[in-house]
Structure 1
Amino acid sequence: MFNAHYFRTYITLVETGSFTRTAQRLEMTQPGVSQHIRKLENYLGKPLLERHGRTFTLTETGRRAYDYALKLFTEHEQFRHGLDDDSLDSGECRIASPGSVGLMLYPYLLGQQQMHPSLTVNYSFAFNHEIVGDLIEGRYDLGIVTEAVNHPEINAELWHAEPLCLVVPADFTGTTLSELMGIGFINYYDGVNHATALLKANYADEFRSMAHFRQQGFTNEVSMVLDAVARGLGFTVVSRLVLETSPWQRQVKALSLPNAVNETLYVVRRRGAALPKRYQKLLDGFQQQRLQETAPALLE
């Protein structure tokens, strides 16, 4: 019958290369180690080792059994840590957000995973409505969306805000609304909504609707929209998160505007679901990092 102790003994034997050292590490007798290996071979029905006196090499079955055993115990540890809702630095995190948020949040989470190997991050990029639907279906534990959610099965809380930036080609010298209309608008998911909010706040006497702007193109991938702007094809309005992570940030520039408008971010989860404490630590840590990164800019 299956016995995890036999696999643990086998892993240790392969790693030490010695029955004697395996016995010492596991505080067993050497005959006990040999018995575990024989019972594992009997269970699998194939030899794991080719013995050469006091040394051995692995058979093909032995190599596959070792790989399987490593995977088995790794998944076991992840599962065990995942059951500890009070653990701040271990367990699985299932999170989804739009690309505008994930461009910076996902790398932050990966950094936390590097520092805490028992932490596992499963991250999905999705649109707001997809995130809500997948939360209800249980595919994620937590989502971050750019719109307030009113749904009986979802709990939404205001979490964070990032300024919207009016981004133009680096060689653009205009400042007026008519000059912006002259180069046209590059749209993306949420693009019209963001542009409407920012332009209305700063050109209140002139701005009427984004329908009056020539649309120069559309992409559903927000991380790529500044490529079009960098090529001089038009302007756009994106979150500061997008601008700061863009490989084209040197080929574009953000116009200075008197009235700031923020993209508001909401944390969403299934109503009544109690999330492990590690989620709140990750959210708080990201907020603190953003405050530290943007503080110099706010002081200028």
Structure 2
Amino acid sequence: MLNPQWLRTFTTLAELGSFTRAAERLHLTQAAVSQHLRHLENELGLLVIRRPRQLELTPAGHALLVYCEETELADKRLRLRLSGADTESGEISLISPGSIGLALFPMLLALQQAKPGWVVRHRFAPDSEVLAAVLQNQYELGLVTLKPDDPRLAASHFTEEPLELIVPATQTDIHAWSDLERLGFIDHPDGQAMASRLLSRRFPGNPGVQTLRRQGFTNQIGLILEPVARGLGFTVMPRYARTAFARQDAIAVVECGPPVVDTLWLIHRSEWPVSSFAARAIEHLRQHFANAEPA
């Protein structure tokens, strides 16, 4: 690595074109300026041609000057970012469960459109992968449905999301367990667990979701409601996944009594603060969910 003092001497010499003036500005002797230049030229080759009334940079000298300018800019960007003052550029990296992710991703893209210097990196994943990704510094922010007790993670309330029983719009007459048996169940990775929690409210003492005829399965969060919209069965899933579905006229939500609500926790590494631009994004998203009307 090149000595920073030698580089400061070189850039000053290139700017002023004089050993005498460079020495005066840097509060050095002319001999020290010449020594710094000699050290650089020993490593990089001839940098300056000494002429009677001026100094001329060689191609290597011009290349070193560009390097010094780029290094100075990188140093300024680093200091600005670490100071927390830079909220106009940077990467927002977020990993979340699929349902809330369907709601968040369009909002993040809207933020990126408003702030072209921001870059959004988002991934869908279950709780276990979210925890691992944040702990391993692969993502700065994560959302989970269970509050972690790991001291390396800071967790704060983000929003709440109820589970919903969703049926084809043409088959909303659901009064008994037999009506669900008739429709059949559209399953997904969390389907049976979610259905067991919600349906126990509407149909206490039911024989269990596993007894229902399974009409289909998909692990793609955005496709779970497609077979429901086509009249092939019912499912149970979180509200934000349902509201993100394009064909709302083809599905319906059946009331199941007292809501079953999951709390979503925002997590990040507790040892250091969230970046300034990520903090602004979090504030915007929280405000959106706080003001959102139940759909």
With structure 2 as the length reference, what TM-score do the two structures score?
0.69
Question: What letter corresponds to residue 232 of structure 2 in structure 1?
Answer: L
Q: Distance in 1 between matches of 2:151 and 2:180?
A: 42
Paired residues of 1:154 and 1:271 also in contact (CA < 8 A): yes
**The residue matched to 1:269 in structure 2 has which SS?**
strand
Question: What letter corresponds to residue 285 of structure 2 in structure 1?
Answer: F
Moved more, 86-95 or 134-143: 86-95
What does the per-residue CA deviation read over 1:188-246, in whole Å, with 9 as the maximum and x for residues that have no partner? 12222221221122222x33422222222221111110011112221111222111111
> How far off is 1:161 after superposition?
0.2
Residues 232, 134 of structure 1: alpha-carbon distance in 2 compared, 3 angstrom cutoff? same
Question: What letter corresponds to residue 142 of structure 2 in structure 1?
Answer: G
Structure 2, unaligned stretches of length 5 or more? 12-55, 65-70
Corresponding residue for residue 108 of structure 1: 107
* Equivalent runs, 1:202-241 vs 2, <5 Å: 202-204=202-204, 206-241=205-240
Corresponding residue for residue 241 of structure 2: 242
Corresponding residue for residue 178 of structure 1: 178
Q: Distance in 1 between matches of 2:243 and 2:62?
A: 59
Corresponding residue for residue 53 of structure 1: none
Paired residues of 1:167 and 1:236 also in contact (CA < 8 A): yes
Paired residues of 1:78 and 1:118 also in contact (CA < 8 A): no
**The residue matched to 1:246 in structure 2 has which SS?**
coil
* Equivalent runs, 1:87-236 vs 2, <5 Å: 87-176=86-175, 177-204=177-204, 206-236=205-235
Residues 154, 172 of structure 1: alpha-carbon distance in 2 compared, 3 angstrom cutoff? same
1:266 has 2:265 as partner: yes
Q: Distance in 1 between matches of 2:250 and 2:72?
A: 49
Q: Distance in 1 between matches of 2:73 and 2:96?
A: 28
What does the per-residue CA deviation read over 1:235-276, in whole Å, with 9 as the maximum and x for residues that have no partner? 111222111111232211111333222232111222323212
Question: What letter corresponds to residue 238 of structure 1 in structure 2?
Answer: M
> How far off is 1:41 after superposition?
11
Corresponding residue for residue 16 of structure 2: none
Question: What letter corresponds to residue 246 of structure 1 in structure 2?
Answer: F
Moved more, 130-139 or 282-291: 282-291
Question: What letter corresponds to residue 203 of structure 2 in structure 1?
Answer: Y
> How far off is 1:74 after superposition?
11
**The residue matched to 2:158 in structure 1 has which SS?**
strand
**The residue matched to 2:249 in structure 1 has which SS?**
coil
Q: Distance in 1 between matches of 2:85 and 2:206?
A: 51
Q: Distance in 2 between matches of 1:108 and 1:78?
A: 27
> How far off is 1:40 after superposition?
8.4
Residues 202, 94 of structure 1: alpha-carbon distance in 2 compared, 3 angstrom cutoff? same
> How far off is 1:149 after superposition?
2.8
Paired residues of 2:172 and 2:254 also in contact (CA < 8 A): no
Paired residues of 1:78 and 1:92 also in contact (CA < 8 A): no
Structure 1, unaligned stretches of length 5 or more? 6-34, 45-71
Paired residues of 2:163 and 2:261 also in contact (CA < 8 A): yes
What does the per-residue CA deviation read over 1:129-156, in whole Å, with 9 as the maximum and x for residues that have no partner? 1111111211011101223334353333
Paired residues of 1:160 and 1:266 also in contact (CA < 8 A): yes
Corresponding residue for residue 65 of structure 1: none
